[in-house]
Amino acid sequence: MKPLNQAIWKQGSLAVAIASGVFLILMGGLLLFNQAQGKIGRLVKSTELVRLHDELRQRPQDEALKQRIRKLDLQLRQNSFTELRISHNGTRAMILVTALFLASAHLARKQRRKLPDLLAWGPRRPAEENRSRLVTQYAVAALFGAAAVAAVGTSLQAVKLPPPPVAAPVAAIRFPTAAELRENWPAFRGFDGSGYREVSAVPATWNLKTGQGVRWVTEVPLPGMSSPIRWTNALFLTGANAQSNVVYRFDADSGKLVWAATLRPPGNKIPGPKVMEDTGLAAPTPVTDGQRIYVIFANAEVAALDFSGKQIWCRNLGPLDNLYGHASSLAIYQDRLLVQLDQSEAASKLIALNAGTGQELWQTPRPIACSWASPIVVEAAGKPQLVTCGQPWVIGYNPLDGAELWRVNGLDSSELAPSPVCAGGKVIASNPGGAVLAIRPDGQGDVTAANVAWKTVSGVPSVSSPASDGKRLYLLTGEGQFTCLDPATGQVKWSHDFADEFYSSPVIGGGRVLIVTRKGVAHVVENADQFRELGKSELGEDCNATPVPDRQSLYLRGGKHLFCLTESAPVAVNRPKD
């Protein structure tokens, strides 16, 4: 290379290194400023939203106030997405410019080492040197300007929440009858959240090594804490990793994987949240109306699919700010998909989506701290009620329009996971570290003083939800204390300490009650007023999901497999295809 050209290359590469270094400093400052503003924390800490929620507690029926809260909530969510876009695009720009900086700095240093003796350059040519210098400066300035404008312009682009896709006209959804709901297991802990199915096959024992009582075993491709649901011969569950949210359908008779559907949300993909291992990315249990499956994941992607695995609609309700990750399961009433999104008093809300289109039907702000309990829909006090638990309230809503019916103050736990259950005409709510409350679900407004029928501190669950057949109420603590009570009075009938760790909830059926430890050890006891253990078996892997009983089989999700168990059956092992 000629000495003059070599000098130009040196000068140009040095200028590029300086320009890219300045860009990195400016962009780094912008990202630090964005971080200091709080990103998603701004949504949660909005003093205005907190003030409005305080007012709502005083005037729970004020529709104008609710509308102001919804509008402000939407604005804050859009601002949060804008800040996320700045952070992500700024980071990408810094990575590219860092590579440019390193390359140009290396080239400048390399040219410096190879510069020849100045006396060997020959006569100077000032005009050519000035022209080359100007060309280099203009090129560097243009490169720097283009990179800065592209990065900052893209970062600051307004972000809109992805709307549900415009869909073709959909067929009307026929809501299943009460008999159909009872015959199947369409939601977390059954159709009414009680964990009870009268005619059920709950085997007392099984043995995976010999195949005794094991009908089939099938691998589940992705992990998840969600429990299975069943409709006729179809089993549905979810799994997820950092890249994908997936819905699975298994054949209940053979255990074979029928299909796996990965969600395809519209618009920009929203980053997944940081979640605890105890919750994971696929903790909420799906729900079905017999025609479609509805799912939600930790990143707030909610979707509907038909029984062939075709996605009907998908949208995102985030971002969510949840310490452990979103875990509340979905509920459904007629054509309304009901979503409980508890994050903080400034952001918690109930949302009803049109089951056919995903469009929002109503939204009700909730004066609730973060919780992981799931809602239930029950017929109580002569009307349908959507019952929820979250610090500090147990609240009953009208599932048709989201109007609050009644509320009871009594849940002071900051880590509230057990879901409510309706037993003996009362709503049973658990306050981990406190008491179990039995509430008469009638009246209006704050009925704390008048409607708490009884309380007990015996066997208060910490994670597992209560189960009841209407005659007996079963409570299971995280440490293994299993207690049977009379739901009418709260009187303890018996209590037994299994001295093990439990997350899954009890299920009742066929005169038996099944509980499963986190290590996969199953205990079957008699559904009776005296304690009697009927059998003990092992899955051979962890278990956090709640079992699903039906007339002939019991379905259990372990850490890696889906199991079908019966009183006596040959074993078949199904593995996912590569």
- Strand locations in 175-310 (E): 214-219, 229-231, 234-240, 245-251, 257-262, 287-288, 292-296, 301-306
pLDDT at residue number 266: 86
pTM beyond 0.75: no
β partners of residue 445: 406
DSSP conformational letter for 120: G
pLDDT at residue number 321: 77
pLDDT at residue number 75: 62
291: helix, strand or coil: coil
pLDDT at residue number 346: 75
CB 211 within 8 A of CB 567: no
Q: Which two tokens stand for residue 552?
A: 């002939």
CB 433 within 8 A of CB 445: no
pLDDT at residue number 164: 46
Quote the CA–CA distance of 239 and 325 in Å, as a whole number.
14
CB 458 within 8 A of CB 495: yes
pLDDT tens by residue, the chain, 578 residues: 555 455 666 666 667 667 767 776 877 766 666 665 554 444 444 566 656 656 665 565 566 666 666 666 656 655 655 565 566 666 667 777 677 767 766 666 666 544 455 455 455 556 655 665 665 555 555 555 555 555 555 444 444 444 544 444 545 667 899 899 999 999 999 999 999 999 999 999 999 999 999 999 999 999 999 999 999 999 999 999 989 999 999 999 999 999 999 999 987 767 677 788 778 999 999 999 999 999 999 988 999 999 999 999 999 998 777 777 889 999 999 999 999 999 877 789 999 999 999 999 999 999 888 889 999 999 999 999 999 999 999 999 999 999 999 999 999 988 899 999 999 999 999 999 999 999 999 999 999 999 999 999 999 999 999 999 999 999 999 999 999 999 999 999 999 999 999 999 999 999 999 999 999 999 999 999 999 999 999 999 999 999 999 999 999 999 999 999 998 644 455 555 54
Pairing status of strand 452-456 against strand 467-468:
unpaired
pLDDT at residue number 142: 59
DSSP result, 480-510: -EEEEE-TTT--EEEEEE--S---SPPEEET
Q: At what angle do helices 126-155 and 63-113 cross, to 10 degrees?
A: 160
DSSP conformational letter for 439: E
pLDDT at residue number 276: 81
Residue closest to 407 by CA, chosen among 13, 56, 9: 56
